[in-house]
A = this chain, B = another copy of it.
Amino acid sequence: MDERVPRDFETLRATILDRRETLPKRIAQIAAYALDNPDDIAFGTAASIAASAGVQPSTLIRFAQQLGFDGFTSLQQVFRERLRERNSSYDERLQALRAKADAGAGHRAIFDGFVAAASTSLNDISRTLDEAHLEDAISLLAKAETIYVLAKRRSYPVASYIAYALGKLKIRNQLIESAAGLNAEMVAFATPADAVIAISFSPYAPATIEEARTIAEQGVPIVAITDSSFSPLAQFAKVWFEVAEADFAGFRSLSATMALAMALTVGVGEKRRSTSRKRKA
């Protein structure tokens, strides 16, 4: 029996793959089943798992013992821990990583922190997204002649991705950048037949707010992505989304905003296609 008992799932997985060749037939059968259906191992009983895998419960225990565990139960712990860790309230993980990074725990910790922040944000938004708002926003944008995309500073990467994606979908759009210093003129072109996607988070870039105000006063409908109902953008917008991004090391994630932005973009593309099909029919 091995002295080194695999404590975490990845090690266990590696060990199993390593020994795959040398394992007895029935044991190998369970090994394959375990790697294919780790969730079943985590939640099932020895009897139910054995039945699913087509072996006797005793074989399951022999499998566990062969790997160095003292029984099925301790093997199962590893599979359960895996689910716990992967899931484990990303918030907690994030906090732990923040503390770790503050203590100067190296660059891997920083990386893990950004991954955790992104995951937290994604979890959050998929829980809180208002489906009706999504529908409204997409309808509104799908009717627009030109979609203006408005965002600066931290939100600018999202805007540029939206513009890229709209372009690829052949949807007319205009990114309002500051480079040329012609924003006021560009904004003036927008009419109520157009629409705007505006993105801004606290501290709201003054230029974004100003341009959003102007454009709203021209009667152009705005879809806003922002971070709270107190956001100035929320006031100007026909539809607005609240997106709470987790931050790490002073930088907020963009993952949730990106996901929402892409859903809007592709949603508009779909809607236009189905509408034009109807018109032809």
Contacts and interface: CB of A to CB of B under 8 A. Distances in A.
A115 B84 CA distance: 20
Interface residues of A, number: 60
Contacts of A126: 111-112, 115
B125 A122 contact: no
Interface stretch (A23-31, A212-220, A222-230, A256-264): A256-264
Secondary structure class of chain A's binding surface, majority of residues? helix
A34 interface: no
A114 B248 CA distance: 22
Nearest to A165: B251
Interface string A119-149: 1001101110101001100100000000000
Contact of A138 (B107, B118, B274): B107
Contacts of A154: 161, 164
Contacts of A118: 118, 122, 255, 258-259
| A114, A138, A165, A254 — most chain B CB neighbours (10 Å) | A114
